[in-house]
Amino acid sequence: MRELCLLLLLTLVSGCTGGYALQSRIEAVADATAITWHQPALAADAARLAPWRSAVGSPLVVRQAATARVHTDALTLVSWNVALDAGDVVGLVRELQGSDPARPIVLLLQEAFRSGDDVPASPLAAEWAGFLGGSRDDREVDAVAGALGFSAYYVPSMRNGAPGRHDEDRGNAILSNLPLDQLAAIELPFERQRRVAVAARVRGTTRDGRPWSLRLASVHLDNLAGAGRAWIGGELARVRQARGLREVFRGEEPTVLAGDFNTWFGFSDQVYVETARDFPQTRVTDTRRTFRGMLRLDHVFYRLPDGWKAEVRRADSAAGSDHHPLIATITF
């Protein structure tokens, strides 16, 4: 019995997180915008992801003319799990803009949602997530982008509720009053639910004419393990997803990786510890909990060139969501 318990412990702790390699392909959406997809290379992952894919609509790309100032020495980023229609995104942006409507702002959102004809009506053999709400049309991702005059890039991860009862999907989004390019979708190794991170690049010039470019990603990892792990070992499930994600963002390019990492163990969670190694400049000065005042689930990781700096704070108000936004200022 002792040897059996030891074997089980080694199995759980040492890995058996499973393969996390991703492979890439290019896909064009309706307006011929190219999206680079990174998807699990394991056949077992692909088979389990297929019925989840069939239940959601295509990526959404909304192009708007830039409304931010052309030359800037700083960029404001907001990473926020908005809990579908609960978070007041427009209200938060208006508060950040204050008397400066041209302030450059990028939103990295999780649990954004969409409804309507873009979501398949009755897919066959589909898998979906439980319905979490989302009845306010004015808080759908395209409506929020329209109200703000922001460009938007949204990729659904999962259907929000059963086909035939709900016509919604939900996932991650990037909204910006600067142009977005180099769009990418990172479908993570399957654990309990389908998860797709989104990435894009923004760029501009400083006030003295120096060009800058920054890659941004919005991430939402599983909160629990699935049946394959007997619904335990959620940390190991997230580690596999995070390792696949980190493979995409290795390198020297200036990058911000932010979102709801579901780190139940906060800054000591293995997901946080491993990801921070790839973003060694990350510094946390505001350690307040982000989920219902109980857990620190949300993080902003960054890799920046010499001379740039980042400051990250938690918003005092959750603005209707069950998560507090993290607000970062990147200074070039």
pLDDT digits (tens, 9 = 90+) for 267-289: 999 999 999 999 999 999 999 99
**Alpha-carbon Rg of the chain, whole angstroms?**
19
pLDDT tens across 128-185, in order? 999 998 779 999 999 999 999 999 999 999 999 998 889 999 999 999 999 999 999 9
How many residues does this entry show for the chain? 332
How is the chain split into domains, by residue range?
Answer: 24-331
3-state class (DSSP) for residue 17: coil
> Which of the residues in the chain have pLDDT under 70?
1-17, 30, 123, 226-233
Q: CA angle, corner 275, sides to 103 and 19, nearest 5?
A: 125
For 24-331, CATH number?
Answer: 3.60.10.10
Alpha-carbon torsion (235, 192, 60, 84), positive or negative: negative
- What is the CB-side half-sphere exposure of residue 17 using CA atoms within 13 A? 19
Alpha-carbon torsion, ordered 167, 170, 174, 179, to 10 deg = -20
Looking at residue 318, its pLDDT comes to 98
Query: What are the DSSP E strand ranges found in the chain?
Result: 22-28, 34-40, 60-62, 74-81, 105-115, 151-159, 168-176, 181-187, 196-205, 211-220, 255-260, 298-303, 309-314, 326-331
CB 81 within 8 A of CB 110: yes
Half-sphere exposure of 38 (CA within 13 A, CB side): 22
pLDDT for the residue numbered 5: 39
pLDDT number for residue 160: 96
